[in-house]
Structure 1
Amino acid sequence: MKIHPLITNTQELADLCTRLAKSDFVAVDTEFMRENTYWPELCLVQIANTEEAAAVDPMAEGIDLSPLLDLLTDNEDVLKVFHAGGQDVEIIFNATGRTPHPIFDTQIAMMAISQSEQIGYSNLVESWLGLTIDKGARFTDWSRRPLTERQIEYAIGDVTHLSRIFPKILKRLIKTERGEWLDQEMEKLADPENYRNDPSQAWKRIKAAGRNPQMLGRLKAIAEWREHEAQSKNIPRGRIARDETLADLASHPPRQQADLAKVRGLSQGWKDNEIGKRLMSTIEKAHPLPEDEMPPRVPRGAPLGKEGALVADLLKLLLKIRAREIDAAARLLARSDELEMLAAGVRKNLSLLEGWRFEVFGRDALDLVEGKLAFAVENGKLKMTHVDEENFGGGKGSEYTDSQAAS
């Protein structure tokens, strides 16, 4: 594979992208910094196919990234391959308002062919290529110039390895006929709505107890205010105020600005500075959350009491068994909150009861809840068995002992 020197001008980038546009796929990775800014600062883009690889310096003077961004977001003939690519896609969306498409994420794909929930890149490379990655440059400051040869070599390695691993994963997916399992997951990854920053919706990311419309209305208002404050200063939102502080302010609103000095997480200066004044104005103008914006009443935990909790635990055990049997990640088959909802009697809008998930796991999960499936121990291993409806009263269930299961 040909490794290019660091690309720092538009013509070289355009020539590279013209060649890459003829590929079936390109492996993509980015290096960025976001510790001190609201918006992630793109510091490096790495891209490769099976023949060549390069790192592109987006901070180089006068460089225009349009050829690269167009390749990633407009060219539907080239598959874009990432590993744990959510933040990479976010950066591309911030720069263009578009997301890469079509897209493939090797971390997600590994969930369909192994029990790995979130396999890291180093482990992915070691398991598929038998190589150990030098992590020395991983936590360097990618915004500092000039970049060292070691940094560039490390960064390009991310896509050269990925371009070798992807065809192997694809071959395994084809062999197991699980490619369709990933279609929905990849479309979710590429959905622009996942990356659209709407300050008016920021409150939904904050944990707050209760469903009081007045409290939630204040939370929505001050969360939106914090987003605008952080954006205007280009600093992380947590530098303005932490989530816990906003939840506290929404639940126990101060009556006057001087009271802000008593709020945990705010400094004494808020009692008489301008940002404190703007916060108080926001709280005072907040309206109760409208009924159509109230969060849905979703059953959580075990709303059926102790029995419901036991059913949910059995469903989680069933999920572990099935994931082990088919060598797939449990989280790809079903989420814990969905299992709890199923145990609570919910039957609609559950992904585990739809499509391939229903065929692989959901049907048995439903049978377990309805008493048509039982657990048994055979040769020291826990297994599932369908209840014989004739012998056990129409599928209402039966008690299994180790001896019965083994007979």
Structure 2
Amino acid sequence: MRTLTTTADLSAYCEEAAKHPYVTVDTEFLRERTYYSKLCLVQLAMPGTDDSNAVLVDPLANGISMAPLYKLFRDTSVVKVFHAARQDLEIFFVDDAVFPEPLFDTQVAAMVCGFGEQVGYETLVRKICHTGVDKTSRFTDWSRRPLSDAQKRYALADVTHLRQIYEFLSEKLAESGRARWVEEELEILTNPATYTTAPNDAWKRVKTRTHSARFLAIVRELAAFREEYAQARNVPRNRVYKDDALVELAGLKPTTLDELGRARLLLREGRKGDIADGILKAVAAGLACKPEDMPEPDRSRDRIQVNPALADLLRVLLKAKTEQAGVAAKLIAPAADLDGIAAGQRDLPALKGWRREVFGEDALRLCEGKIALTAVGNDVKVVEV
């Protein structure tokens, strides 16, 4: 189990990896106590059947630079293979504004190939590699040194089995002609907007039960302050204050420290110092917000008029189509999309790209009365009207 601790060794390995059609990649990181993930380990493996060309890279080693790895990521002649890549990609994007290109995510590919929704790595190892994964080091502090042999073996297994999984899924995609489906899904993972939270947009993630524009203006200011504070100090946003405390503060509208002290859900740290000052300023900004500058409540769900019978028919059609395609139903159209289609909405993911081919086109034809559904034995069939 080789661990690379110098930039020179990492550069030599990446130069060799660049000679191969693909490299498998995984990371270990910590995020419990920080806003941004702390990269603790990178695992890499070139094609092969043993562990001789698989390595661990220690980003915490004194003086090491990840520049050779990022150069490999930008080399479009080498496919970079991950499993459930989102958090890994966020680390690299935040660190160096780089996305591995071209990218292959085995979790996305497995869903498209009929392995179910958000299938786990261990499941793929068991079903494709016909072996198991040692889970004993799953919950560990990867920032501590030295790493034990058990930790190293666990980490390496995340990229050595990945080679066989990638080759298997690549072949399946080629046979089925669904490689484009995977490419469409990966466009979201390689979009910078996926990993960028602008403070002024942070309020959209906070769940509230009111359409009051004034209330939402205060929520917006409180969420923006929390996001700015958390990013600047690299602490989790919930360490500043949690969503339920934020909503409570928007309702209380405190203008003094005494009024702030009445908040039941605010942590002790939030009742003094910079956080308390920030809260009071955010509330004041929300109260002073001009009507034309207040956020627009999302009333789309209020206006939706769902045809329940049509929604039920769409669910039957979706079940038939997903069984035929061997793809998880939720991957194609969640319940909200089905209700939206039944209510006449057309700007929905289920009606775009490969989803439209598999389900959306017939869903629209069903809404227009151009097709009907009939049962033939245990199967549901589409009938032209």
**TM-score (norm. length: structure 1):** 0.87
Structure 2 CA distance for aligned equivalents of residues 210 and 139 of structure 1 = 39
- SS of 1:151's equivalent in the other structure is helix
- Point out the more displaced range, 152-161 or 265-274: 265-274
Residue equivalent to 1:376: 374
Equivalent residue number for residue 395 of structure 1: none
Question: d(CA) in 1 for partners of 2:320 and 2:151?
Answer: 43
Q: Which aligned pairs between 1:81-92 and structure 2 lie closer than 5 A?
A: 81-92=81-92
Counterparts of 1:149-168 in structure 2 under 5 Å?
149-168=149-168
In structure 2, what is the equivalent of residue 338 of structure 1? 337
Preserved CA contact (<8 Å) 1:215 1:288:
no
Find the aligned partners of 1:68 and 1:76 in 2 and give their Cα distance: 13
Letter in 2 for 1:166: Y
Deviations 1:272-318 (A, max 9, x none): 54421321112102325756963654347x9326xx23422332232
CA contact (8 A) 1:219 1:250 kept: yes
Cα 1:230–1:178 change in 2 (3 A) is same
Displacement, 1:50?
Answer: 0.4
Give the partner amino acid of 2:362: D
Tell me what 2:140 maps to.
Answer: 140
Measured at CA, do residues 267 and 20 of structure 1 come closer, stay the same or move farther in structure 2, by a change above 3 Å? closer
Of residues 357, 362, 370 in structure 1, which corresponds to 2:360?
Answer: 362
Amino acid at match of 1:370: E
Q: Are the aligned partners of 1:368 and 1:374 in contact in 2 as well (CA < 8 Å)?
A: yes
Provide the secondary structure at the position in 1 that maps to 2:3.
coil
Deviation at 1:133, TM superposition (A): 0.5
* Contact 1:375-1:382 at 8 Å conserved across structures: no
Measured on the aligned residues, the alpha-carbon RMSD in Å equals 2.2
Q: Secondary structure at the match of 1:245?
A: helix
- Give the whole-Å Cα distance in 2 for the aligned partners of 1:289 and 1:16: 59
Cα distance between partner residues in 1 of 2:353 and 2:375: 30
Question: 2:300 aligns to what?
Answer: 298
- CA drift at 1:9: 1.0
**Bigger Cα displacement from structure 2, 26-35 vs 268-277:** 268-277
Indicate if the aligned counterparts of 2:311 and 2:342 stay in contact, CA closer than 8 A: yes
Contact 1:7–1:54 (CA<8 Å) still a contact in 2? yes
Structure 1 match to 2:15: 18
Kindly name which structure, 1 or 2, has the bigger radius of gyration based on alpha carbons: 1
Q: Aligned residue for 1:27? A: 24
The separation in 2 between residues aligned to 1:370 and 1:384, in whole angstroms, is 17
Q: Which residue of 2 aligns with 1:197?
A: 197
Moved more, 331-340 or 97-106: 331-340
2:189 & 2:308 partners in 1: Cα distance? 32
Superposition deviation, residue 32 in structure 1:
0.3
In structure 2, the gaps of 5 or more residues are none
- How far off its partner does 1:258 sit? 1.5
Give 1:196 deviation, angstroms: 1.9
Contact 1:81 1:166 (8 Å CA) reproduced = yes
Q: Deviations over 1:219-266 (max 9, x none)?
A: 111111111222333221111111122123224422432222222321
| CA drift at 1:191 | 1.1
Structure 1 residues 340 and 94: alpha-carbon distance in aligned structure 2, compared to 1, 3 A threshold:
same
- The structure-2 alpha-carbon separation of the partners of 1:59 and 1:367, relative to structure 1 and needing over 3 Å to count, comes to same
Deviation at 1:270, TM superposition (A): 4.8
Structure-2 separation of matches of 1:176 and 1:198:
40
- Given that residues 217 and 289 in structure 1 are in contact (C-alpha distance below 8 angstroms), is that contact kept between their aligned partners in structure 2? no
| Distance in structure 1 (CA, Å) of the matches to 2:61 and 2:364 | 57
- Say whether residues 1:70 and 2:62 are aligned partners: no
| Distance in 2 between residues matched to 1:5 and 1:387, nearest whole Å | 62
The 8 Å contact of residues 218 and 288 in structure 1, kept in 2 or not, is answered as no
Q: Say if 1:290 and 1:382 are closer, same or farther in 2 by CA, change over 3 A.
A: farther
1:359 CA displacement: 2.4
Instruction: Provide the C-alpha distance between the structure 2 equivalents of 1:272 and 1:355, rounded to a whole number of angstroms.
Output: 51
**Contact 2:211–2:298, Cα closer than 8 Å, also in 1:** no
Q: Residue 36 of structure 1 aligns to which amino acid in structure 2?
A: R
Q: How big is each residue's C-alpha offset from its partner over 1:92-137, in whole Å with a ceiling of 9 and x where there is no partner? A: 1111022222211111111111050010010011010101111001
SS in 2 for 1:262: coil
Query: Retained in 1: the 8 A contact 2:82–2:105?
Result: yes
Higher mean alpha-carbon deviation, 39-48 vs 286-295, is at 286-295
Contact between 1:374 and 1:387, CA under 8 Å: does it hold in 2? yes
For 1:58, give the aligned amino acid.
Answer: P
Alpha-carbon distance in structure 1 between the residues aligned to 2:118 and 2:281: 43
Residue 36 of structure 2 is matched in structure 1 by: 39
- Aligned amino acid, residue 71 of structure 2: D
CA contact (8 A) 1:115 1:330 kept: no
- 8 Å contact 2:240–2:270 — kept in the other structure? no
Which 4+ runs in 1 deviate beyond 6 A? none
* 1:193 CA displacement: 1.5
Instruction: Verify the 8 A CA contact 2:213 2:295 in the aligned structure 1.
Output: no
Q: Which piece of structure 1 moves more, 276-285 or 205-214?
A: 205-214
- Write the letter of the residue equivalent to 2:344: G
Query: For 1:29 and 1:49, how far apart are their aligned partners in 2?
Result: 12
State how far apart, in whole Å, the 2-side matches of 1:116 and 1:270 are. Answer: 43
Cα deviation code 1:2-29 (max 9, x no counterpart): xx51111111101001111122111110
Alignment correspondent of 1:317: 316
TM-aligned CA distance change 1:290 to 1:154, over 3 Å: farther
- SS where residue 261 of structure 2 aligns? helix
Q: Give, in whole Å, the separation in 1 of the partners of 2:112 and 2:145.
A: 40
Do the aligned partners of 2:201 and 2:224 also contact (CA within 8 Å) in 1?
A: yes
Counterpart amino acid of residue 63 in structure 1: I
Pair 100,267 (structure 1): closer, same or farther in 2 beyond 3 Å: same
Among 31, 41, 46, which residue is 1:49 paired with? Answer: 46
What per-residue deviation string (whole Å, max 9, x for no partner) do you get for residues 14-48 of structure 1?
10011111221111100001111111111000011
Q: Which moved more, 1:112-121 or 1:354-363?
A: 354-363
Q: Residues 269, 58 of structure 1: CA spacing in aligned structure 2 closer, same or farther, 3 A cutoff?
A: closer
Query: Alpha-carbon deviation of 1:80?
Result: 1.1
